[in-house]
Chain A
């Protein structure tokens, strides 16, 4: 390929953001001393996870997630051709770069990989059960963290037990533990994922050889689970909507911002709600990576709005239940027919083996998202907000959410100021120190957020081998050359992944943030940088869905297939080229989007 993306060192950011680098750790900056390495790499903007400019604290999860992903590839399982995925922040946006293994080293890693990955594949079910326990107890540990304000006087028990360790030092420990637990939770997030993707890719590759033009969707259909935890929150909403209708209190949801539950029926509904919400409504309206993402349990107007929609459909006589048996039967049919079309019994044996393994690993691939991004992260953000409130209350910060404009390790200095001056009983320095800095950081962040980051930087790769890059981000050698050549293609046409079949025409609505989701009107086509699983309840409303980024296994693709909505994912430029009100045609079977 002769064409190249701009060098990260040539990008001109927005004006008036001098000093933006201070918002993030120095290790995430493109820098002169690594210029040669950085300039010769391919970097893509991960708008799928970090579509908005990062705040200093929020950047933590980008760093932690990428480090955890990488260590599984490079140090734990020794994925033969792939080390980690490198990460940088440029003008507030996350840029990633898959790192390959020196070809001369690949062979030596094969036996190491076979032994290590083999252990996981061989003991998958036990390890997965164990994983669920580990994640739940990690969540319990997060919940147990105490970020309450320091007391005027220690409890007598601190004295009588002879512990000597007081609330101030404990608060510092609790914060350090909080950071440690984040590392732990994200290690769990990636514990099985790379292996799961590898097994899936193996089955995928087999199908592509046997049926050279099999749609990716056909393969996904054979592997996808029937009962998936990620869909559970939405199923709980349907159940509650039915309950409200059965109890005769459907009208209570007419105004989702003012739901009053009264009387015996109200109490009964409340009881059902309480059962459902823990854990299923620890569900974010975003993707879990931003402090401002709204979580259902804390913003009941969001689930109430969805319940209201479901009530309307039930009252219109619609059956909104998920047809488990039909879904199961359809999956069995697809498998049986492809199996039948294979050329030999030998192929059928390999097909059975590969499909079997892909299905063993897949519940994890589908469910980890609920347990980490939704449930764990809901608790993480709640805890961090508690800490911010404490720091505001005791005068360390001007506002609770100032905390998100302080880097995670800078917070230790604030906590030290808090503890030391609480101990001495003297004035703290933090508020005066941070006020101008945070004011400036907020200004910078707002400018970064308004800026449009480039899709990719640096030298286009010869080949992409890293399983995540292909599976999750949908970035293949083909899509990269597509991005490079994008100025030559028809302005009114976009190409992406054929993620969910069907062809429709309709009016587009661009949705850039979760807050805008409720603007969607019946029969519109949702066009978004990416969608979140928690948007599922609006899918019955829309005709089709188009996203800028995401592969076959992106959360958007999974949800679209589940709800039978035609979808094209990973178009690259959907939200740039399409405008709200444009009439577009979406062909989810061929991956084409046309502006009419």
Chain B
């Protein structure tokens, strides 16, 4: 085992579970639940990046599916049990970062330990109460929800945990929600997450885990939107990818989605490319998400109408204005909401490629009408285009 290994450091420096509660910045926070529509900046360290982003979107009146965060305060409670901490530490000590197969097993053992840990009654009660309130809000008593990990790392605001924590879809019932919240907590110790922290030199105890519980969207179609043209950085357009069913097909790259370019100013679709879409992810009657082949005309039919595109573009633009920089948005078209009101935003992140480049100035120094016209005549644009 190498000397720089943070896992050893973790055990050495922080021999007891107290370390988990000690990572707090604000000891006044006691809530187990934070509703997205009551989110504020102060909640951020307790709800994780993903939940904070959903809360902020909701505060910006972006149509995010309703839900709540189970805060890190709840998560920290399980570590009050010293036996659990010792058990986890024992297993971590056995890890050899070069033995991939063995580590998968070890990680599974750690997760099983955490998942066997009883959830404190107060936490169970708070989650159950919040879930039932969400059901009432949506007019049902058995609302399917998505249960998602939302990791938070003190002093590591730029750390990316993308894709490393688990997401559980189509969960129904308070007990099942609690069960899956616990799975999210344990997902902090997936083999991938352990390896990631190891390679980045992050300490395990700096990571807290919040969980998002959000109304499940049952989409007709879904996809992503960029608030600029990704090909040339033109900020007067929104580029939209769309495919049938859940967004997984687009995000994973399993289908070539339909591709559209919507002009922000003219509010018109100025480019459209309809693809042959082979598969979709959708909910089966048994409540499972399944990859299914797409049959017949649907394969080559547009997955969105022009009205949908306009609505998606408007929302993406609103997110861009709210965050003050180009955005990369995940959206879905909900089956159960009325047309015109059924575009939901699942996520909004800063666009990273063009946003890194400084905005290019296209005017060359002071404006002079005549020299400008001469240069236009002498090197006309239409020549440049054909080069």
Contacts and interface: CB of A to CB of B under 8 A. Distances in A.
A66 interface: no
B266 A467 contact: no
Q: How large is the interface on A (under 10, 10 to 19, 20 to 34, 35 or more residues)?
A: 35 or more
Contacts of B272: 587, 590
Interface in B359-387: 359-363, 365, 367, 369-374, 376-378, 380-383, 385-386
Contacts of B268: 215, 501-502, 589
B359 A478 contact: no
A465 B376 CA distance: 10
Contact of A343 (B264, B361, B385): B361
B378 A205 contact: no
A502 B263 CA distance: 12
A67 B18 CA distance: 92
B361 A346 contact: yes
Given A80-B377, A199-B369, 4 more contacts: A206-B362, A218-B263, A218-B266, A590-B272
Interface of A: 79-82, 106, 110, 113-114, 117-118, 121, 198-199, 201-202, 204-206, 208-215, 217-218, 221, 333-334, 337-338, 341, 343-344, 346-347, 349-351, 353-354, 357, 463-465, 467, 470, 476-478, 481, 498, 501-503, 587, 589-590
27 contacts: A81-B380, A110-B374, A114-B370, A114-B374, A117-B370, A198-B373, A202-B372, A205-B380, A206-B362, A211-B236, A212-B234, A213-B237, A215-B270, A338-B236, A343-B360, A350-B362, A353-B367, A465-B380, A465-B383, A467-B377, A467-B380, A476-B382, A503-B269, A503-B306, A587-B272, A589-B268, A590-B269
B206 interface: no
B385 A476 contact: yes
B263 A215 contact: yes
A202 B236 contact: no
Given A211-B236, A347-B362, A478 B385 contact: yes
A354 B264 CA distance: 22
B382 A464 contact: yes
B378 A121 contact: no
Q: For the complex of A and B, list the 9 residue pairs with the smallest distance between their C-beta atoms, beginning with the closest.
A: A343-B359, A350-B363, A477-B386, A212-B232, A202-B376, A476-B382, A350-B367, A463-B383, A205-B381
B261 interface: yes
A534 to B, nearest CB: 28
B372 A209 contact: no
B235 interface: yes
A465 B377 contact: yes
B320 to A, nearest CB: 10
B97 to A, nearest CB: 46
Contact of B370 (A121, A334, A338, A349): A121
A235 to B, nearest CB: 25
Given A337-B264, A344-B359, A347-B362, A80 B374 contact: yes
Contact of B234 (A80, A199, A211, A590): A211
Q: How large is the interface on B (under 10, 10 to 19, 20 to 34, 35 or more residues)?
A: 35 or more
A426 to B, nearest CB: 60
A106 B378 contact: yes
A341 B236 contact: yes
Contacts of B374: 80, 110, 113-114
Contacts of A333: 265
A81 B377 contact: yes
A341 B325 CA distance: 11
A354 B359 CA distance: 20
B196 to A, nearest CB: 37
Interface of B: 229, 231-237, 261, 263-266, 268-272, 306, 359-363, 365, 367, 369-374, 376-378, 380-383, 385-386
Contacts of B270: 213, 215, 498, 501, 589-590
Given A337-B264, A347-B363, A478 B235 contact: no
B377 A79 contact: yes
Contacts of A218: 236, 263, 265-266
Nearest to A335: B265
Contacts of A589: 268-270
B226 to A, nearest CB: 13
Contacts of B231: 213
Contacts of B269: 503, 589-590
A205 B374 CA distance: 12
B373 A199 contact: yes
Contacts of B370: 114, 117-118, 121
Contacts of B234: 211-214
Nearest to A118: B370
Nearest to B385: A478
Contacts of A501: 266, 268, 270
A341 B22 CA distance: 46
A477 B261 CA distance: 25
Contacts of B378: 80-81, 106, 110
Given A344-B361, A590-B271, A470 B266 contact: no
A481 B360 contact: no
Nearest to B231: A213
Contacts of A114: 370-371, 374
A81 B237 CA distance: 34
Query: Which of A334, A347, A465, A589 has the most chain B CB within a 10 Å cutoff?
Result: A589
Contacts of B373: 117, 121, 198-199, 202
A353 B237 CA distance: 24
Nearest to A336: B265
Nearest to A591: B270
A334 B377 contact: no
Contacts of B377: 79-82, 113, 198, 201, 465, 467
Contacts of B382: 463-464, 470, 476-478
A514 B3 CA distance: 89
A118 B373 CA distance: 10
Given A80-B374, A106-B378, A114-B370, A337 B363 contact: no
